[in-house]
Amino acid sequence: MEEDPETGNSSRTERKALEKAKILQRERERKVFRLVGRVLKKPEAERSEEEAAALLLHREAVDELGRRQIRRNVLKRKQEEVFDDADELKSKVKQLAAAVKQANHLVVYTGAGISTAASIPDYRGPNGVWTQLQKGRTVSSSDLSKAAPTVTHMCIRMLHKEKLVKHVVSQNCDGLHLRSGLPRHALSELHGNMFIEVCTSCSPAREFVRLFDVTERTSLHRHGTGRRCSHCGSELRDTIVHFGERGTLEQPLNWKGAAEAANEADVILCLGSSLKVLKKYACLWSMSRPANKRPKLYIVNLQWTPKDDLAVLKIHGKCDDVMSLLMEELNIQIPEYDRAEDPIFKLATPLRPEEVQSHNREVLAAPDGQESPSAENQQQQPSEETSSLQGGWFGRGYNKGRRKKKKKAA
């Protein structure tokens, strides 16, 4: 049945009129909010009668602006870094030490805050990657070839060696847990490892550990590294899990190990994580259990986390400081990082001759007296193009998400 031309024209006219009315209504509301906002910024004694009347007339706008200011203040407080004083810090660390000693199955969850001492930026701290990008600032790259495991990394490795820590679940992609000497079976790198590329066409997936950051060409939903599997010829991919992606690789993510450890845990220690991402992984928190049967939660972080109210103890301190005090309480010596013992040099797979020019990242320098398997042909000098932050494990995915949101808003 054909539509009556007059009826069709009428409905289109009505739709246009309705859309125009909505646009005009939004513009009127914006003008009201701008007016009320200007008035509210003035001290009450300096407001004219006309301005006071405007506030009375537009009570809904006044209330909404008040609610927005409260939300901004709450968010600002959550982003502030808080430090416990020296005496309180020592007292809290003593409580933590007692919990570590008594724990039957202690699991450690780590975030970017444990790597800031290695000059690797965190995400949500005052100078974090997300914080800087939200302010419209550029983020300079870190020379990750010069980064080394921190005091916290080495403490965790030692606690595992002493059988006080059973498993480590990390959000970090910097590979520093692996380089500290922590056994791989005791580690779940939920968001991948920047030194590892894999062939998913091989069964099981075949790993290639490199001495450089393999994420140079990768980003959100684009994981091909440009190199190929030496066994089947398929393109290799990085192991990074970006915000909004779901990690499916068995290694190095090791979700099975993480879930099993969380299920057996009686104590969970969170170090340097905002927990805004980890909180979404239900299998890590045993929330299906009654509250009195869940693992006891201890958090070390300078900022607010969404799990603070559930924690037995919240310690406001830098991870290295807290872990140093903890090891002192436990009477365990902290081992120094020894480059000659770094497992990555033994695990690394050399590039084939045709792959020598496949990257521009700096290569980890072999320890004195040793020759890395790729020292002769893999050493590349970073080009000017790589001087700004590039690659898969932070920065790019965030910007793509921001662009999409802006397009939707437009």
Q: What is the pLDDT of residues 39-60, one digit of tens each?
A: 888 898 888 988 888 888 889 9
Choosing from 167, 191, 223, 359, which is the catalytic residue? 191
Confidence grade of residue 243 (pLDDT, cut at 50, 70, 90): confident
Highest mean predicted confidence (pLDDT) among 72-86, 291-305, 380-394: 291-305
Question: pLDDT for 5-39, tens place per residue?
Answer: 566 667 888 888 889 999 999 999 999 889 888 88
pTM of the model as a whole: 0.79
Instruction: Give residues with Cβ within 8 angstroms of 266, minimum separation 6.
Output: 103, 104, 105, 106, 295, 296
Domain boundaries, the chain: 19-78, 86-191+252-340
298-341 pLDDT per residue, tens? 999 999 999 999 999 999 999 999 999 999 999 999 999 999 99
Residues 6+ apart with CB under 8 A from 100: 106, 159, 164, 267, 269, 326, 330
Considering only 14-28, 85-99, 109-123, 158-172, which range has the smallest mean pLDDT? 109-123
Pairing verdict, β 196-199 and 206-209 = antiparallel
Q: What is the pLDDT of residues 168-208, one digit of tens each?
A: 999 999 999 999 999 999 999 999 999 999 999 999 999 99
Q: Quick check: 400 pLDDT over 50?
A: no
Q: For the chain, what is the mean pLDDT?
A: 84
In tens, the pLDDT along 264-291 reads 999 999 999 999 999 999 999 998 888 8
270 assigned ligand-binding residue: no
Known binding residue 155? Answer is no
Burial environment of residue 161 by CB neighbours within 10 A (0 to 12, 13 to 18, 19 or more)? middle
Does residue 124 surpass a pLDDT of 70?
A: no
Q: Is the pLDDT of residue 236 over 90?
A: yes
CA Rg, the chain, in Å?
27
Which residues, at least 6 apart from 27, have a Cβ–Cβ distance to it below 8 Å?
A: none
Q: Which CATH code for domain 86-191+252-340?
A: 3.40.50.1220
Mean of the pLDDT values across residues 116-145? 58
- Is the pLDDT at 401 greater than 70? The verdict is no
173 is in an annotated binding site: no
According to the annotation, is 202 in a ligand binding site? yes
Residue 359 or 139, more confident: 359
Task: Flag whether pLDDT at 123 surpasses 60.
Answer: no
Cα separation, 59 vs 64, in Å, equals: 9
| Least confidently predicted of 93-107, 127-141, 262-276 | 127-141
Q: State how far the alpha carbon of 233 is from the alpha carbons of 109, 200, 226, 252, 374, in Å.
A: 37, 11, 11, 21, 20
What pLDDT is stored for residue 330 in this prediction?
98
Asked if the model's pLDDT at residue 407 lies above 60, the reply is no
Q: Give the per-residue pLDDT at 390.
A: 46
Q: Among 123-137, 219-233, 262-276, whose mean pLDDT is lowest?
A: 123-137
* Percent of the chain scoring above 90 in pLDDT: 53
84: pLDDT strictly greater than 70: yes
Catalytic residue list contains 191: yes
Find all residues with CB under 8 Å of 20, minimum gap 6, and list them: none
In order of 12, 193, 215, the CA distances from 365 in angstroms are 69, 18, 19
pLDDT of residue 246: 84
